[in-house]
Amino acid sequence: MKIWAHRGCSLRYPENTLLAFEKAANLDGLEGIELDVQMSKDGGLVIIHDEQLDRTTDGTGFVKDYTLSELKKFHIKTINNELSETIPTLNEVMELLQKKRVKLNIELKNSKVMYHGMEEKVINVINKYGFEDRVVYSSFYAKSLEQIRKLLPKAEIGILDTKASDCIYKMNGKCGANAIHPYAGAIDLDRKDLEDINVRAWLTEDLYPEKQTGKVIEIRKLEEAGITDVFLNEPEMYL
């Protein structure tokens, strides 16, 4: 089983921050780091999961309604209410990880808000730092992945959805995906139907790291279901 850090080491550190990414990048045996990209009002690429600022920062409203300089003034919430980390840009993340061997799974957060031109902007940053061969692009929005495939014919692309069968349906369409990223609890296909496919699964209990469940993930059961990779908030516990 390949282990990915979901928004960095997000159980112990603020999600999608340079701190969480740095802690993850220093873990031995980690496959990669998953993060989420959105765009500011003036086209800056920022790393944040929710379309709105309210849950994870001391700001409010939609990410898309603020300029990059305005977004950088907000701070990320922590369990102890310390406000030291800010919303990172994709460039800042690449600067941090440039000399690390870790892979990246970049989720394009454009299924609810249409960020026009984001695909090309992200690819340009990745190419700038020489990360082309270490990135998996993913999204719930098939048309976004179609654009990635058009711009990068050899890209590794994972289609997101809840059910494995829905992922397969989309993958067999025109989205250009060569991997599926379903919910771990919705693997509704036989293992033989998933052979030769990278199945990178996410967990609903990991969607909001601040709501700790204390649940221990049974890696063996995930493997038996045909899952090849898993995104975890606490990857350090499973390496």
Out of 49, 75, 116, 181, pick the active-site residue: 49
Give the Cα separation of 162 and 181 in Å (integer): 8
CA dihedral 56, 15, 199, 107 (to 10 degrees): 60
Out of 6, 75, 116, 181, pick the active-site residue: 6
Active-site annotation holds for 49:
yes
Query: Which residues face 39 on adjacent strands?
Result: 45
Give the Cα separation of 49 and 185 in Å (integer): 21
Backbone angles phi, psi at 129, to 5 degrees: -100, 10
Give the Cα separation of 134 and 127 in Å (integer): 11
Which residues, in sequence order, are CB contacts of 99 under 8 Å at separation 6+?
A: none
Active-site annotation holds for 6:
yes
Nearest CA to 56 out of 118, 2, 14 is that of 14
Q: Show which residues are catalytic.
A: 6, 49
